[in-house]
Amino acid sequence: MTVQFTLLISRQGKVRLSKWYAAYNQTERARSIREITNMVIGRPSKLCNFLDWKDQRVVYKRYASLYFIVVVDKTDNELITMEIIHHFVEVLDRFFGNVCELDLIFNFHKAYFILDEVLLNGEVQETSKKAILRVIQAQNTLQDNTHEHQFVT
Amino acid sequence: MDMRGLSVFISEIRKSTTKEAEQKRVDKELAKIRTKFKTSANLKGYDRKKYVSKLLYIYMLGYDIDFGHIEAVNLLSADKYSEKHTGYLACTLLLNEGHELLTLITNSIKRDLASRDPNDQCLGLTAIANIGGKEQAEALADDVQKLLLSGDTKLLVRKKAALTLLRLYRKYPEILPPDAWASRVIALLNGKDLGVITSVMSLILGMVEKDPKSYVEAVQKAIRLLVKLVLNREYSNNYLYYGIPAPWLQCKLLQLLQYYSVPTDEGLMSHITQVINRIITGAERSKQNDKNKGVSKTNAAHSVFFEALNVAIHYDLDKTVLITATQILGKYLSERDTNLRYLSLDTMSRMAYSQHNEVIVNIRKNQDTILLALKDPDISIRRRALDLLYSMCNKVNAGQIVGELLSYLPLSDYAIREELVLKVAILAEKFAVDLSWYVDVILNLVSTAGDYVSDDIWHRVVQIVTNRDEDLQSYTSQTVFIAMSSVAAHENTIKLGSYILGEFGYLISNKEQFVPALQLDLLMSKFDMVSVPTKCMMLSAYMKFYNLYIQDSFVTDSVKEIFSQHRTFIDAELQQRANEYYKMIESGNTKLLGTLLEAMPHFPERQSSVMKRIQDRDAERKRMRAHGGEGADEEEEEEPAAFIAPSQLLQQNIQLATQAPQTKTASLFDFLDDGVGTTALPNDEEDLGYNASSGDLSDFIGGGASSNYNAAPIGNNNIGGGDMLDEIFGGVPAGIGNNSSFNYQQDYGYQQPPQQSFTTNLASDAANLAAQRKQQMGGASIEDLMMATSLNEQAEQNAAVHQDAQNKLRQLLVSRDGVAIEDENLQVKFKSEFHGNKGRLNIFYGNKSNQTITQFRADVSQHPLLDVTMSNVTPLIAAKAQSSQYVNVVCKGAFSDAITLVLHFEFNRKFFRFNVKLPIAVHKFIEPLPLNSADAFFAQWNAIPKDTPQESVRIFKQSEQYLNVDNTKALLRDGFNIAVLENIDPSPLNVVAAGVFFGDNNNRTNVLLRIQVNAQKQVFRLTVRSQDEVLTQQVQQYVQQYLEGA
């Protein structure tokens, strides 16, 4: 179950987050984003959430104005990949409290951090929401304590 | 952590209405940051963090960042956690794998891994997991491994360590040699925390993918975990995801099983079967009951459901599970949930290869729905429907499916058209009842979607048509002529047409509407419109026309005219052809022309390159996983039906041709042996010598510009590059300049022996053939002498093997399976089963050598009292491979002699013949007759009078082995399948036994035995009684044989 890369793309096609787990150079990244954005945006909502793309499979889901896109191997389980997206969205939602696109724009560094807690090296890292939120909250306090020296938990 | 400056910057960027404004703002900011980095040597940590964050944001917007990396690296060693954190984020985003600065950060990471603060450890691990490469693998693998295995590590860190290690393993597998490592990592699955187990499973899966053997132990652990989660429902509620316990972990566990074959342990097997059943029923229930509980619930349930199905498909054992699954999937096909429809189609297309016919039948019930799905508005659904139609196609529904696909072709998306064309071509070939249908389908493909028809598809048509009879050839010529006549004929049609008409056009030239002039006209009318490579092909076709219709001055003049026009054509290839052909015509040597332009010989039968393409593609596909080749193998077995049909001789001879070192002559002989070469015989019977030496040839060529002319009949060297070209030229009777072979060809053509002998005994005939060749050649060549000596050697060899076989037969007669005959190259094994008067022997032929065994054939001798039928066996056994065959035997009465299996094959250019006795004797059709009391036994015993042929009494010496009465009993019970009756004979040393023999229509005959022992003299007295004297004799003989130990 290896995710090749994850994208968050707005309805206007702006990249809000992109994370690459396999080696893609800058040109390949740009091309992939363009191709996938074209495929996904404008697909009617009734259609299925899976698309063939090159030798891989695109699994995507739209939440409000954002498309969450995950590209996986063809051998991967499509539904569980979709639930990774959902799981990630739920964690974001809990953390930001009713998350919206703006939260992710202004706090992009946090979004990246949370994504790393959900998916590391393209593999799902933690599936318990509780466990993830505990870690993220702890990190958050740690970071806000700008003047405090590191402490050992 | 909040950085006001950053937020302000982001808002400003967002305010810019045009791309230019944004760019301007970004440039301004970049300039500012650059100066800050350059000038302020003592930039505060906070500011550095802020600027790096801004750079990141700019980078995310898609702008190139060419500075600031070093600032990010510096942040890594900051004391403040928030700065360090930003540093790591920046490094993971800005530095790709292989970036030169990575070396710099490796040390920082190492330090953080060694830190006692789990937060630092996490940062370090995350960084490696994101950007680690081979270099990091070498430098840091040990540290990461320590973190994973150490008992002191926090769970949070351990999860990350497992996934980070997976990254490093993928970059550089040598860091984890499986010997010591496998058991330790698998032991981690015993832990309690499902989060850690999930991560460790990802790691194990990643390693299993590369090296399944080393991690076999994980299978039983995986099954136990599944039992715990699914059957026992033991888990922490934190891991309950929409009512499903840890669906991610379940999927991973189920995926692991697909790398391994069916568990041999029955307990494990029954557990996994239960798990699969529970998952399937659970998912179906969730679909019915939880409609309103949100999509995540059904998704979670079904993610596990489909993965469990994958395991069931992979095992392909339990029919009921698969049948239930097809029913559920069938329902899902008309669901509104598009995802479920998609996955059902996808899963069914893998199920369609099941060994259980009912499963396939169930899938086919949905054929109409699936055909409808081809027109679904969703391209993803259309693709899966196409895949499924392809895999569910068989002889029965091929007509309909191919028809539907053809009519769908013009409507299909461009994105899948090529695949569609390929699949139609394969199905048409694979399931063609009539090859003319196949030709029609391909021509139809070319005319509707010519651009998507790749060359190998029409090359295949050429191959098939060339290797077939004249009916097909003339049919194809006609159809292709008509197809080409269309104004809009596609260039691929024209290519095919040029080749076919050039080769086979003469077959229809006697019909008014296809006379040579019209054929030539048709080709010429297309000439100006086609590309140069096609023009080249057409020139060759013209040349063939010239040769075929040399009497027709219209044809010859036109052809000569067009060659002369193109002798100065700008394209070198075309020019060369025109020149060479022109010179050939000018030479006026019609005999030589005849030879050069004779019909193309048959292509060697082999796997379709079209088929191969799709196999290659399939091999990469869906979870064939451990049995990666499985799909491909199946395909191979299903060689196009129409292709196996030609007398196997052809195939075998071609094998011979390719095996024999002196290919040219050998293949020539063999082509002739089959009468295949008749069209290739020169027309001129008188001039056998064929003085067309290479000198003449070079005369021709001298005029042209050729440097690489190939002395073979002119085929179309445009056909296929690479290997096909080789085969066209390589396997051709390229006899020019080799007088002896031509003489021989003539001789042989007239003295060919009647062919029917071939079918009876291929191997010996081949040997005869060699002898005949010798006679005809008027003396023995060295090669023939070699062959003769090798035959002698072989006879000796055979004797030894046969002796060994005798011993093995003895073993086999009292057991169900074993090796029957074995030498250094071939092993023959039997597995047998008998029930009543029926028996089945599975025979396995194993090729132990490194070379292919060819012309393999097995025959059995007929027997008056045994009905013997046997399955076909493939004529080729590849190196180190095994092939099998079964023999069914029905017994019609007590018999005395055995059946012989005769094996013929060619190996290493020698012919072998082995006689193997099948281990079938009367007692194989005996089953135990349990008689409970002495009365019952004696009633039977006394019913057969003494001193008649129905009774047989023998006294003989005990062999050592049977001094122990238990051995005797075991022999009768296990070896002869006769019931040993206790407490009937008062002496414990004596044995009484009874069996029942099944003859014709399962008529039973009882057979009774009594063995008395004279312990002093160490002799047996064996008495056998039955109503059938042959039966009595046979049982007595066999039992005695073993008891004597002779």
State the pLDDT at residue B328.
Answer: 93
Reduce the DSSP state of residue B376 to 3 states and report it: coil
SS (H, E, C) B95-108: CCCCCCCHHHHHHH
State the pLDDT at residue B710.
Answer: 39
> What's the pLDDT band for B964 if we cut at 50, 70, 90?
confident
Give pTM, 2 decimals: 0.64
Q: What is the pLDDT averaged over residues A137-143?
A: 84
Q: Which amino acid is at B709?
A: Y
Q: Tens of pLDDT along B255-285?
A: 999 999 999 999 999 999 999 999 998 888 8
B130, B136, B259, B621, best to mutate vs chain A, most A CBs in 10 Å: B130
B296–A127 CB contact, under 8 Å: no
State the pLDDT at residue B112.
Answer: 92
Of the candidates B266, B235, B269, B267, the one whose C-alpha atom is nearest the C-alpha of residue B250 is B235
Q: Note the helical H segments in B409-531.
A: 414-430, 435-449, 455-467, 470-485, 491-504, 516-527
CA distance B263 to chain A (A): 22
CA distances from B760 to B755, B763, B858, B903, B1005 (A): 10, 9, 11, 12, 38
Taking only residues 81 to 110 of chain A, the set having a beta carbon closer than 8 angstroms to any beta carbon of chain B reads 82-84, 86-87, 105-106, 108-109
State the pLDDT at residue B124.
Answer: 93
| pLDDT over 80 at B638, yes or no | no
Q: Tens of pLDDT along A61-92?
A: 999 899 999 999 988 999 999 999 999 999 99
What's A128's domain CATH number?
A: 3.30.450.60
Of the candidates B154, B54, B168, the one whose C-alpha atom is nearest the C-alpha of residue B109 is B168
A51–B380 CB contact, under 8 Å: yes
ipTM of the complex as predicted? 0.94
CB-based contact, B263 to chain A, within 8 Å: no
Domain with A81, as residue range(s), is 3-152
| pLDDT over 70 at B85, yes or no | yes
Of the candidates B1002, B806, B1012, the one whose C-alpha atom is nearest the C-alpha of residue B890 is B1002
Q: What is the pLDDT averaged over residues B714-730?
A: 40
State the pLDDT at residue B578.
Answer: 92
Q: CA A19, CA B364: separation in Å to the nearest integer?
A: 43
Q: Tens of pLDDT along B900-927?
A: 887 877 777 666 777 788 888 888 888 8
> What's the pLDDT band for B389 if we cut at 50, 70, 90?
very high
Reading phi first (left if > 0) and then psi (alpha if -120 to 50, else beta), residue B271 is in alpha
Q: Parallel, antiparallel, or unpaired: how do β-strands B817-822 and B826-835 relate?
A: antiparallel
| pLDDT over 90 at B840, yes or no | no
Across chain B, which distance is largest between two alpha carbons, in Å?
Answer: 124
- Partner residue facing A83 (CB), from B120, B126, B247: B247
State the pLDDT at residue B837.
Answer: 86
> What's the pLDDT band for B852 if we cut at 50, 70, 90?
confident
| Residue B601: partners with Cβ closer than 8 Å, 6 or more residues away | B671, B676, B677, B680, B713, B731, B732, B733
State the pLDDT at residue B752.
Answer: 36
Q: What is the pLDDT averaged over residues B596-616?
A: 74
Q: Could you tell me what percent of chain B has a pLDDT over 90? A: 30
State the pLDDT at residue B628.
Answer: 38
| pLDDT over 50 at B558, yes or no | yes
B241–A25 CB contact, under 8 Å: no
| pLDDT over 70 at A147, yes or no | no
B117-131, B784-798, B1016-1030, range with the lowest pLDDT: B784-798
- Residue B135 CA from chain centroid, whole number: 38
CB-based contact, B19 to chain A, within 8 Å: no
CA distance B182 to chain A (A): 20
Taking only residues 992 to 1011 of chain B, the set having a beta carbon closer than 8 angstroms to any beta carbon of chain A reads none
Q: CA B932, CA B994: separation in Å to the nearest integer?
A: 11
Mean confidence (pLDDT) of chain A: 88
Number of domains in chain A: 1
Q: Which stretch, B322-326, B730-734, B818-822, has highest mean pLDDT? A: B322-326
Q: Which one is predicted more confidently, B661 or A7?
A: A7
Which residues of chain B have a CB within 8 Å of the CB of A145?
81
CB-based contact, A120 to chain B, within 8 Å: yes
Mean confidence (pLDDT) of chain B: 79
Q: Parallel, antiparallel, or unpaired: how do β-strands A123-124 and B979-981 relate?
A: unpaired
B51-60, B280-289, B339-348, B460-469, range with the lowest pLDDT: B280-289
Q: Which stretch, B156-165, B438-447, B543-552, B654-663, has highest mean pLDDT? A: B156-165
B126–A116 CB contact, under 8 Å: yes
A31-35, B210-214, B836-840, range with the lowest pLDDT: B836-840
State the pLDDT at residue B794.
Answer: 52
Number of H helices, E strands in chain A: 5, 7
| Residue B677: partners with Cβ closer than 8 Å, 6 or more residues away | B601, B668, B671, B733, B745
| pLDDT over 70 at A152, yes or no | no
